[in-house]
Amino acid sequence: MASKQNKIALVTGGNRGIGYSIAQGLLAKGYQVIITARSLEKAQQAVEKLQGIAIPIELDVSDDRSIEQAVATINQKVDRLDVLVNNAGIYPDNNVDILTVSREVLDSAMNTNTFGVIQMVQAVLPLLEKSEDARVINVSSGMGSLGGLTTTAPSYCLSKLALNGVTIMLSQSLSSKGIVVNSMCPGWVKTDMGGTSAPRTPEQGADTAIWLATEASRHETGKFWRDRTEISY
């Protein structure tokens, strides 16, 4: 069992990119971090590179069975969860627009980026309820804001627009339990998803998520953030 002193966080897709930097930042602040990846091997490789108390877990957020198995393992290792960072995401739009995108591509983006977050919150809710300072951070995108919708990234934009809706609804449902829920945009970040032309480092992209997880006022819930500043949905 994890010690009672450290706060405990779970980061989905924590093996690379922004998720890895969020995990690294939380570890540096003394949090124990459950690093989840789609394969246990990838999670273990990330944990080996990181400093601090990090726990590798296999988790595919698009698969309910995988979520169920991951939560069963997590329950054996920790007795509560203080922070859930829903970072895992995909950008399946490739040479499509809103007039040509297939149902399959729409399904895959919604399943991972949106429905995966709802299922994750449902699955770890009993653990979040045991925290006195529970926070959920959804890694969204400015491309999911009403002013940022882009016809050439239909599935991604719609999945992040819906994710922001999920943030609003979860914040309403969980306020009576004292659980705060926010969306954030990391900006355009140099990762496998963001590509090499992106101006931001993964550390810069991770900053607002780490701030929401650790320092932001607990009065702030149901909002959308970039660079530690509220932005419009």
The residues assigned a catalytic role are 156, 160
Q: Does 89 bind ligand NAP (CB under 6 A)?
A: yes
Site for ligand NAP (CB under 6 A): which residue of 37, 43, 134, 180? Answer: 37
Does the footprint of ligand NAP cover residue 80 (CB under 6 A)?
no
Question: What is the smallest separation between the CB atom of 17 and ligand NAP, expressed in angstroms?
Answer: 2
d(CA 122, CA 126): 8
| Contact call for residue 121 and ligand NAP (CB under 6 A) | no
Q: Tokens representing 86?
A: 């829903």
Q: How many residues bind ligand NAP (CB under 6 A)?
A: 30
CA distance 76 to 134: 19
| 222 touching ligand NAP, by CB under 6 A | no
- Asked if residue 191 binds ligand NAP (CB under 6 A), the reply is yes
Q: Is residue 19 a contact point for ligand NAP (CB under 6 A)?
A: yes
- Closest C-alpha among 168, 155, 149 to residue 112: 155
Helix (H, G, I), strand (E, B) or coil at 30: coil
By CB under 6 A, is residue 42 in contact with ligand NAP?
yes
Cβ atoms 117, 140 nearer than 8 A? no
Nearest alpha carbon to residue 212 among 54, 58, 29: 29
Q: What distance in Å separates the CA atoms of residue 22 and residue 214, rounded to the nearest whole number?
A: 11
CA–CA gap between residue 134 and residue 131 (Å, rounded): 5
Residue of 32, 112, 145, 167 interacting with ligand NAP (CB under 6 A): 112
Which residues of this chain interact with ligand NAP, rule CB under 6 A? 12-13, 15-19, 37-38, 42, 59-62, 87-90, 112, 139, 141, 185-186, 188-189, 191-194, 198
